[in-house]
Amino acid sequence: MDKITEALKQYPKLSESEIKEQVALILSDKMAPNNNKKVYENILSCIDLTSLNTTDTEDSIESMTAKVNDFGENYPELRNVAAICVYPSMVKTVHDTLTEGVEIATVTGSFPHSQTFIEVKMAETSLAILDGATEIDIVFPIGKLFEEKYEDIVDEIQEIKAACQDAKLKVILETGILEIKDIENAAILSMECGADFIKTSTGKLSVGATTTAVYAMCRMIDEYFKISGRKVGIKIAGGVSTTEEAVKYYTIVDAVLGKDWLNKDLLRFGTSKLANVLATDILGEKKEYF
């Protein structure tokens, strides 16, 4: 535990007030140049098209997947979304329907609360991968963070990372209920345990992504890259439903992490609404394709 605590201390931290100041400067100086159709198109190609509803059915997920399949034919001037994200029970439906080269993402480990046995989390992850999932989104064990059970957190995330095999692991920090210091520590622990992406939110709570949380996460990704040489991606999810909001987050990622992160390999937006909004703003007419 002392080793983990020492590892957390080597990362320079900022207060919430300092972060708010930096965010305001970035958005005032750099957002306008990013407010253009080329950026909108890039954001569209970074979307994890998401359906995580109680009412999801095989038919509804097949329909969504078929629209992804046909997107290039209907909009040849636009790049397709990065991934389709569904519940584990729907992964096989996506896998059996999908013909395009987009990723199949799913949420495992008692989403959205992460309150179940580690054995269940690992089993659900393994079963999802057997059904065709190529990306796994899990929720960070926040209760253990509050209790500073860092060793338990490390063991859990590392075990799930191992269960992922070749699939990418995204760790959801649920930043809307965390203070900045907790966001920073959760980000560091997740990356040190092998996370390929850190993600803001499940989208199931009243507070989702915020500019301060995204800035804090980007700073930790940057610091981790300086120490390890490994690039970790960021996924922004939870209430991102307008082009303006998406461009704000894109601008923060651009300013803190740079151009290398402005692609689907290192940047994702988890949303069910944003694709249509972006397509509308890109093409200049109302689109309700997805």
Catalytic residues: 137, 199, 235
As a whole number of angstroms, the distance between CA 16 and CA 19 comes to 5
Residue written as tokens 């989208």?
Answer: 203
Query: Given CA atoms 61, 71, 204, 86 in this order, what sign does their dihedral have?
Result: positive
Distance of CA 208 to the CA centre of its chain: 12
For residue 198, the cross-strand partners are: 171, 234
Q: Do 185 and 213 form a contact (C-beta atoms < 8 A)?
A: no
Q: Do 169 and 197 form a contact (C-beta atoms < 8 A)?
A: yes
| Residue 162: Cβ within 10 Å count | 12
Dmax over Cα atoms in the chain, in whole Å? 57
Question: What does the block give as tokens for 56?
Answer: 């999801």
- For every residue of 144-171, which 3-state class applies, written as one string? HHHCCCHHHHHHHHHHHHHHCCCCEEEE
As a whole number of angstroms, the distance between CA 14 and CA 10 comes to 13
As a whole number of angstroms, the distance between CA 190 and CA 174 comes to 13
